[in-house]
Chains A and B, each alone.
Chain A
Amino acid sequence: MAMSEPLLAVSGLTKRFHRSGTIVTAAEDISLSISPAETLALAGPSGSGKSTIARLILRLIEPDAGRVDFGGENFLALRGSALRARRARLQMVFQDPLAALNPRATVARVLDDPLRIHALVSRSERPSRIAALLQRVGLSSDLADRYLHEISGGQRQRVAIARAIATKPSLIVLDEAVSALDVSVRSQILELLLDLQRTERIAYLFVSHDLGVVRAFAHRVVLLEGGRITEQGDARAVIDNPQSAIGKALVAAVPRLTTTIQERS
């Protein structure tokens, strides 16, 4: 993205896992960038390293080599409390909110944690901020006292999004965040994410195996296979006319897309 300074710039990111004598390459020389308010999709078959790359950028796993610049700052050099403070700007939404949030927590506690940890609002103001966050993601503030297992899957994912936006981040990693939802709920959640992007100028790193959703939701796409980038570019251009073998195979696996391509040719 030449028009503006990238929000996130990753270069040469590499990670190898040693599993029972063999070396598995999860990420090999990955370079990519995301501009403010942009959506970049990481797509590929399972085992292609897309989730690992997302977790490397978030420093949930430490890379072997490479550089991650976030907001003009070397993110990999941050340590301890400096890293924890900077995490407010870089959030994540997981595939399964029930697994990614403490199963023993209430909705209010899930949303209270980021506000308390980053001391964003005073203790007395937190309940009203929690209510505002719930309303922002389209939920009733009455839900605050419920336990996570008492609400529906779609509501849980909205709570997870509310938690992610509580610290006003500039980038959110969406790791298969809509993959487990049924179709109608999925489109509502995507609609919410697009609305947040428009109003709050949030950038997304959208990890997904579903090229249909990627084509509709992302500006640009990076296709991965075996931890390497095989193809990247404008999401519609790449998915409508893939150049690499893996790109063609992935597109062929999406029934709806193949028919439109066949109709066109």
Chain B
Amino acid sequence: MRRLVQIPEALVGLGILAVLVVMALAAPMLFPGDPLAIKGAPLLPPFQEWSLPLGTDRLGRDVLAELFHGARTSLAVGLAAAAAAIAVGAVIGTLAGFAGGILDETLMRITDAFQTVPSFLLALAFVSVVGPSLTVVVIAIALSAWTGPARVARAEVLSIRERDFVAGARVIGMHPLEIALREVLPNALPPVLALSSVIVASAILIEAALSFLGLGDPNRVTWGGMIAEGRTVLRSAPFLSIVPGIALVLTVLGVYLAGEGVVEGTAVRKGLS
């Protein structure tokens, strides 16, 4: 942790993430009630009224409240989709790499198939068929994101399965499935986890893009949905699109920088020891 602070990118990234987490956690306390409720006159510009610092949108809703509640959605979707993608990818990659043969071929061809479809198109198709809700959006994003972790896990397992502790587990009669999931998988995880920042960042962007197209959860405030809302009044009230846009850029940047910092920090530690 101390080493992370010494890397400036990591410091900036962790700082942005900390602000985001505080926003997400504080949202229900600072802005209780429905953030989609009307709070004042419509299209109030920012910094005009003390109670509505970032103004209101087309329907008179508090932009700052929407921004805070939107942070919750972005963070929740990003983390849940990344966790699901890494869990599924790591298990599939481990089984493919450990079993080898036909199972490996089958699983990797399925991985290829998912990888050749553009990830946003896959998410779009899935949500438009199943219908928009937060869970569906998370599944839709994970559906295209698990292939990266699967490939990395498989490559790692191919070298781990030749190690003596796997032979040792076979000698005591351990079931191959238990060897794969309990002995091999935990040792293959570190390089897979290094992918998580990229996955979280792209998940947040895909969620925003889905919401922009009206395929997000309609009962939740999302930054992508806010940008879409502001689009119709882009000339008269550009701040309605710019404010959530900046939040989105900063969040993705923060996740990415923090992830890079963690990877670099652990690499330095390995190099020193």
**Chain A residues in contact with chain B, CB under 8 A?**
55, 58, 60, 83-85, 87-88, 90-92, 94, 96, 99-104, 113-114, 117-118, 163, 167
Q: How far is the CA of A103 from the CA of B187 in the complex (A)?
A: 9
Provide the B127-170 mask, 1 if CB < 8 A to any CB of A, else 0: 00000000000000000000000000000000000011101111
Which residue of chain A has its CB nearest to the CB of B163? A99
| 8 Å CB contact of B164 from A83, A85, A91, A96 | A96
A10 to chain B, nearest CB (A): 17
Known interface pairs A99-B164, A100-B164, A103-B165; A92-B171 also in contact (CB < 8 Å):
yes
**Which 6 interchain pairs have the tightest Cβ spacing?**
A84-B173, A87-B173, A100-B164, A100-B168, A99-B164, A114-B172
Instruction: Please classify how large the interface on chain B is, using the bins under 10, 10 to 19, 20 to 34, 35 or more.
Output: 10 to 19
Could you say which residues of chain B place their CB within 8 Å of the CB of A96?
A: 164
Could you say which residues of chain A place their CB within 8 Å of the CB of B164?
A: 94, 96, 99-100
| 8 Å CB contact of B186 from A55, A104, A118, A163 | A104
A99 to chain B, nearest CB (A): 5
Q: Is B183 an interface residue (CB 8 A)?
A: yes
Is A60 a contact of B186 with CB atoms below 8 Å? no
9 contacts across the A-B interface (CB closer than 8 A)? A58-B171, A60-B167, A90-B171, A94-B167, A94-B168, A100-B164, A101-B165, A113-B169, A114-B173
Known interface pairs A99-B163, A104-B186, A104-B187; A92-B173 also in contact (CB < 8 Å):
no
Could you say which residues of chain B place their CB within 8 Å of the CB of A102?
A: 165, 169, 183, 187
Is A118 a contact of B173 with CB atoms below 8 Å? yes
| 8 Å CB contact of B172 from A83, A103, A104, A117 | A117
Is B172 a contact of A87 with CB atoms below 8 Å? yes
Excluding A60-B167, A91-B171, 6 further A-B contacts by CB distance (< 8 Å) are: A87-B170, A87-B173, A90-B171, A102-B169, A102-B187, A114-B172
Which residue of chain A has its CB nearest to the CB of B178? A117
Q: Is B175 an interface residue (CB 8 A)?
A: yes
Q: How many A-B Cβ pairs are below 8 Å?
A: 56
Q: How far is the CA of A92 from the CA of B173 in the complex (A)?
A: 12
Is A167 a contact of B172 with CB atoms below 8 Å? yes
Could you say which residues of chain A place their CB within 8 Å of the CB of B170?
A: 60, 87
Between A90, A102, A117, the greatest number of chain B beta carbons within 10 A of the residue's beta carbon is seen for: A102
Is B171 a contact of A60 with CB atoms below 8 Å? yes
A55 to chain B, nearest CB (A): 7
Which residue of chain A has its CB nearest to the CB of B170? A60
Q: Is B174 an interface residue (CB 8 A)?
A: yes
Is B167 a contact of A84 with CB atoms below 8 Å? no
Is A55 a contact of B174 with CB atoms below 8 Å? no
Q: How far is the CA of A55 from the CA of B168 in the complex (A)?
A: 11
Known interface pairs A60-B167, A101-B165; A117-B174 also in contact (CB < 8 Å):
yes
Is B174 a contact of A113 with CB atoms below 8 Å? yes
Is B173 a contact of A55 with CB atoms below 8 Å? no
Q: How far is the CA of A78 from the CA of B173 in the complex (A)?
A: 13
Could you say which residues of chain A place their CB within 8 Å of the CB of B174?
A: 84, 113, 117
Q: How far is the CA of A251 from the CA of B124 in the complex (A)?
A: 73
Could you say which residues of chain A place their CB within 8 Å of the CB of B173?
A: 83-85, 87-88, 114, 117-118, 167
Is A113 a contact of B172 with CB atoms below 8 Å? yes
Is B165 a contact of A91 with CB atoms below 8 Å? no
Q: How far is the CA of A58 from the CA of B172 in the complex (A)?
A: 11
Give the contacts of B166-215 with A (CB-CB under 8 A): 167-175, 183, 186-187
B166 to chain A, nearest CB (A): 9
Could you say which residues of chain B place their CB within 8 Å of the CB of A58?
A: 171
Q: How far is the CA of A148 from the CA of B186 in the complex (A)?
A: 16
Q: How far is the CA of A163 from the CA of B174 in the complex (A)?
A: 13
B188 to chain A, nearest CB (A): 12
Q: How far is the CA of A167 from the CA of B174 in the complex (A)?
A: 13
